């Protein structure tokens, strides 16, 4: 017996609507739950004052600043390395065993649990290089973790630039670098930025790798140098929740974390579109 195509069509349509609503709905519930429980805790005092009593009282200002430093450091280190590697892979080499090894390596890095990165960061940056528990060690470790994401998303974006733009650029006598700088990078910027923003979001919410490298000590003042030890928002939330110190402050911290990721996303895309407006 043949099922009428119309029935199949509407069944498929219903199914797709259901899974989409299910996905988006779950997401909204999680974010909504965090915001509903966390937003009441967010007051100017909470945002702009130092914690007291291990976070039971007071605010999270040093934690916010410390998180910003670590994330900023990680992005500043990982972006040139990652984007540079992908440019090398796409524009400066032909497919051979070297590129395959690099790509395989990047994929392996992506699959490594973050706590292993934490352990490596601890052994290498904290102990061997003597950076101690610091913004620097944390940023370097998170940068390593971000590399695979940035490399692979940039690579896809670079490859999506139509080959005829490269061809005509060469035909006009441009060098490879002029072509990359003026044609390929502007054309692939949306994809590159997406990769960087994704990596930032993941770094922001990372705990295991940061505990081992940036430290867990709750600072009572704002960090001023890359050598200072910090506690990031995600770690702060984790410790407040796990040690049952203050549910209210824990959710306040979580809400700030979620909102920051939102702000980073919107900010990055706004900047990108402003830049692209000059090119389109």
Partner 1 sequence: MLEARNVRLWYGDFNALKGVSMKIQPRSITAIIGPSGCGKSTMLRCFNRMNDLVEGCRVEGEVLFEGRNIYDHYDLTELRKRVGMVFQRPNPFPLSVQENVGYGPRIHGLASGDGLRAAVKKALQATQLWNDVGDRLTAPALSLSAEQQQRLCISRLLAVAPDILLMDEPCSALDPMATQNIEELMLELKRDYTIVIVTHNMQQAARVSDFTGFMLLGELVEFGETQTIFTAPTDKRTEEYITGRYG
CB under 8 A: which stretch of 17-25, 65-73, 106-114, 162-170 binds partner 1? 162-170
CB under 8 A: which stretch of 34-42, 46-54, 134-142, 166-174 binds partner 1? 166-174
Is 96 a binding residue for partner 1 by CB under 8 A? The answer is: no
Is 48 a binding residue for partner 1 by CB under 8 A? The answer is: no
Is 92 a binding residue for partner 1 by CB under 8 A? The answer is: no
CB under 8 A: which stretch of 26-34, 146-154, 163-171, 239-247 binds partner 1? 163-171
Cα angle value 147/276/148 (rounded, 5°):
10
52 versus 167: smaller Cβ distance to partner 1: 167
Q: Which residue has the tokens 């006009």?
A: 172
Is 170 a binding residue for partner 1 by CB under 8 A? The answer is: yes
Is 93 a binding residue for partner 1 by CB under 8 A? The answer is: no
6 versus 94: smaller Cβ distance to partner 1: 94
Count the site residues for partner 1 by CB under 8 A: 19
Least Å distance, CB 279 to partner 1, is 6
Task: Write out the DSSP string of 7-19.
Answer: HHHHHHHHHHHHH
- For residues 113-128, one letter each, b for 16 or more C-beta atoms within 10 angstroms of the residue's C-beta and e for the rest, the string is ebeebbbbbbebbbee
Give the distance, in angstroms, between the CA of residue 28 and the centroid of all CA atoms in the same chain: 20
Residues in the chain: 280
Is 175 a binding residue for partner 1 by CB under 8 A? The answer is: yes
Is 277 a binding residue for partner 1 by CB under 8 A? The answer is: no
CA distance 229 to 174: 48
Indicate the SS3 state at residue 52: strand
Within the chain, where are the H helices?
A: 5-38, 44-48, 61-87, 97-111, 114-121, 135-159, 163-171, 176-179, 185-204, 208-213, 233-242, 247-277
Is 274 a binding residue for partner 1 by CB under 8 A? The answer is: no
User: Which DSSP letter does residue 134 get?
Assistant: S
Options 18, 30, 168, 263; binder of partner 1; rule CB under 8 A = 168
CA distance 133 to 227: 8
186 versus 226: smaller Cβ distance to partner 1: 186
CB under 8 A: which stretch of 41-49, 65-73, 75-83, 160-168 binds partner 1? 160-168
Residues in touch with partner 1 (CB under 8 A)? 94, 164-165, 167-175, 178, 182-183, 186-187, 279-280
């Amino acid at each position: 017996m043949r099922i009428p195509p119309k029935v199949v069509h509407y069944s498929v349509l219903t199914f797709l609507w259901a899974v989409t609503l299910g996905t988006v709905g779950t997401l909204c519930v999680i974010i909504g739950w965090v915001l509903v429980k966390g937003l009441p805790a967010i007051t100017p005092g909470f945002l702009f004052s130092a914690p007291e009593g291990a976070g039971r009282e007071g605010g999270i200002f040093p934690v916010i600043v410390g998180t910003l430093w670590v994330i900023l450091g990680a992005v500043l280190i990982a972006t040139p390395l990652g984007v540079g590697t992908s440019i090398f892979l796409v524009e400066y080499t032909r497919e051979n065993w070297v590129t395959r090894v690099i790509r395989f390596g990047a994929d392996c890095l992506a699959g490594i649990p973050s706590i292993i990165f934490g352990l490596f960061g601890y052994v290498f940056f904290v102990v061997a290089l003597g950076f101690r528990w610091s913004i620097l060690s944390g940023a370097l470790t998170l940068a390593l973790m971000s590399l695979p994401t940035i490399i692979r998303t940039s690579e896809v974006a670079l490859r999506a630039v139509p080959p005829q733009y490269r061809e005509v650029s060469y035909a006009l006598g441009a060098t490879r670098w002029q072509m990359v700088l003026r044609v390929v990078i502007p054309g692939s910027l949306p994809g590159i930025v997406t990769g960087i923003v994704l990596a930032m979001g993941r770094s922001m919410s990372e705990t295991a790798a940061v505990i081992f490298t940036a430290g867990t000590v709750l600072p009572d003042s704002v960090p001023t140098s890359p050598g200072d030890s910090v506690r990031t928002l995600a770690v702060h939330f984790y410790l407040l929740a796990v040690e049952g110190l203050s549910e209210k402050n824990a959710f306040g911290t979580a809400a700030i974390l979620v909102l920051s990721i939102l702000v980073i996303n919107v900010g990055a895309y706004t900047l990108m579109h402003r830049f692209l407006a000059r090119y389109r």
